[in-house]
Homo-oligomer: A and B are copies of this chain.
């Protein structure tokens, strides 16, 4: 069963038919930040606390303190609601309204100081039983099939149904923060390996993969800054830097680079060995705006190219690399690399590129130039379950429009042929590319 949101059905009948059919399919969401122990929001603050709202409100004038963690949830929601009018043109705001209307019977099309109280009450789920029931209701109403998580390498991976909430090994810390003492400590604790040098590091990383795969992990993932260029590791050269990093000693910039390259390559080798797809999320630079709200401080440098990844793609021909690029203008290059490299797959529309104008441009080109069996349509990147439906609906609307215009009108495809492509992109390809490995 899918949600009913009559206000946002596409106006064009051909588009609407495609959209309605797509909404009957289950949602397979190959990347999110959902907490599987508390997947749906317990109150409105957990919805409004999504960094899109706090950062856009802050960008339009709200002080960061208005949503400080020490405030009561209701106060934070009220503070934020006073600034929602300033951002009610954005697509992010439209997700919010769809959540309010779909899940909480909110009757208005904007949320303001005078309506936030009622909505807060309607969205409140107090106590564990009410929370669990709500998780189930949102899951059903959104027609979810699988939601991938973002698990730190030392996540115990216990306490939830891994067929619904699929583990995914996130490896940023290992590659980018090995020199921080906390990382090595966590690694030792998680694996029981007394990591002291490169060999110990490898042993520990293999243990991580074993544990994740045994617990049903179906992908490894990492986000990488725009100046990172993977290169074949030269273990001998890395011996000393890796040992120094593990011991928390000071490192020169070239040693940092050597460590990153070495650990990253090691991860790729494990992906090959354990037959896990390796999601590459290319582009972010962390903390570009340090005074921003939590989650709203990262940006990018648009001067980035997949050319820097050629050695990786060539060397690991057996590893599937679902690739997301952050800078919207980098999307066209990803089309070309996905068209040539069998193991490069364009995946979703990420963060600053997750805007209808950019999605539409990227999607049109992917549909025209990348084999349909390689297209991984969309992922929610959501922190709370409620966001999956409106985000996927946004994508499904654009997909319906694109297929109607390009396929049905442009190429004289039948609606069934258009839906065949849509089904691959939304459901069949993700299922095939991220298969069950364990058990």
Residues of A participating in the B interface, judged by any CB pair closer than 8 Å: 7-8, 11, 55-61, 86-92, 94, 285, 288-292, 296-297, 299-303, 305-307, 310, 313-314, 317, 327-330, 332-333, 335-342, 352, 355-358, 361, 364-365, 367-374, 397, 406-407, 409-412, 421
- Stoichiometry, copies per complex: 3
The answer to whether B374 and A358 touch across the interface, beta carbons within 8 angstroms, is no
CB contact under 8 A between A89 and B367, given known A340-B292, A355-B335: yes
The answer to whether A342 and B58 touch across the interface, beta carbons within 8 angstroms, is yes
Measured between beta carbons, the chain B residues less than 8 angstroms from A301 are 305, 307
Once the chains are docked, how many angstroms separate the CA of A337 from the CA of B327? 11
CB distance from A370 to the nearest CB of B (A): 7
What residue in chain B is nearest A407 (Cβ atoms)?
Answer: B89
The answer to whether A338 and B59 touch across the interface, beta carbons within 8 angstroms, is yes
**A372: contacting residue among B89, B285, B369, CB under 8 A:** B89
The answer to whether A90 and B59 touch across the interface, beta carbons within 8 angstroms, is no
The answer to whether B299 and A307 touch across the interface, beta carbons within 8 angstroms, is yes
Task: Given contact pairs A60-B373, A335-B355, enumerate 5 new A-B contacts (beta carbons under 8 Å).
Answer: A58-B342, A90-B370, A92-B369, A291-B314, A328-B335
What residue in chain B is nearest A91 (Cβ atoms)?
Answer: B368
The answer to whether A8 and B91 touch across the interface, beta carbons within 8 angstroms, is no
What residue in chain B is nearest A412 (Cβ atoms)?
Answer: B7
CB contact under 8 A between A356 and B368, given known A94-B411, A289-B310, A328-B332: yes
The answer to whether A90 and B371 touch across the interface, beta carbons within 8 angstroms, is yes
CB distance from A285 to the nearest CB of B (A): 7
Pick the most buried of A86, A303, A339, A407: most chain B CB atoms within 10 A of its CB. Answer: A339
The answer to whether B365 and A358 touch across the interface, beta carbons within 8 angstroms, is yes
What residue in chain B is nearest A64 (Cβ atoms)?
Answer: B342
CB distance from A427 to the nearest CB of B (A): 16
The answer to whether B369 and A355 touch across the interface, beta carbons within 8 angstroms, is yes
Measured between beta carbons, the chain B residues less than 8 angstroms from A365 are 328, 355, 357-358
Measured between beta carbons, the chain B residues less than 8 angstroms from A358 are 332, 365
Interchain Cβ contacts under 8 Å between A and B, 24 examples: A8-B411, A11-B409, A59-B370, A86-B371, A88-B372, A89-B368, A89-B407, A91-B368, A285-B307, A289-B340, A289-B341, A291-B317, A292-B340, A296-B340, A302-B333, A303-B305, A327-B333, A327-B336, A328-B335, A329-B330, A352-B369, A355-B365, A357-B361, A358-B365
Once the chains are docked, how many angstroms separate the CA of A355 from the CA of B365? 7
CB distance from A399 to the nearest CB of B (A): 12
Once the chains are docked, how many angstroms separate the CA of A7 from the CA of B368? 18
Once the chains are docked, how many angstroms separate the CA of A355 from the CA of B370? 11
Measured between beta carbons, the chain B residues less than 8 angstroms from A342 are 58-61
The answer to whether A300 and B336 touch across the interface, beta carbons within 8 angstroms, is yes
Once the chains are docked, how many angstroms separate the CA of A362 from the CA of B110? 25
CB distance from A124 to the nearest CB of B (A): 28
The answer to whether B90 and A368 touch across the interface, beta carbons within 8 angstroms, is yes
CB distance from A188 to the nearest CB of B (A): 36
Once the chains are docked, how many angstroms separate the CA of A305 from the CA of B340? 23
Measured between beta carbons, the chain B residues less than 8 angstroms from A338 are 59
The answer to whether A87 and B329 touch across the interface, beta carbons within 8 angstroms, is no
Measured between beta carbons, the chain B residues less than 8 angstroms from A94 are 411
The answer to whether B337 and A299 touch across the interface, beta carbons within 8 angstroms, is yes
What residue in chain B is nearest A371 (Cβ atoms)?
Answer: B60
CB contact under 8 A between A310 and B288, given known A60-B342, A372-B86: yes
CB contact under 8 A between A373 and B86, given known A301-B307, A335-B355: yes
Pick the most buried of A8, A358, A371: most chain B CB atoms within 10 A of its CB. Answer: A371
